[in-house]
Amino acid sequence: MLTSILAVSVAGILLGLRFKAAALLAATALLLVGILAWNSLGFPGHVTVGKSLILMFFSAGGYLVGLALSLRRRRNGE
């Protein structure tokens, strides 16, 4: 679970550095589709609703961190 949290947090930061909020919505939808596919294929490490919400929270939090870094970089660059 820790690896998943780290992965979605880093993905959120990268999204925040480059893209607008619509990309976060698309990434969240892709995360949910991936979770549903993972669970339906029967791979080990069944993802519950609680874990899904935690992953979405960290993805959004990572996006906000990336957005803040992007704004800071733009402000210092000008």
Q: What is the pLDDT of residue 47?
A: 79
List the pLDDT tens digit at each of the 78 positions of the chain. Answer: 788 888 888 888 888 888 888 888 888 888 889 888 888 888 777 778 888 888 889 988 998 898 888 888 888 776
Q: What is the pLDDT of residue 73?
A: 81
Reported pTM: 0.77
DSSP state string for 25-78 = HHHHHHHHHHHHHHHHHT-SS---HHHHHHHHHHHHHHHHHHHHHHHHHHHHH-
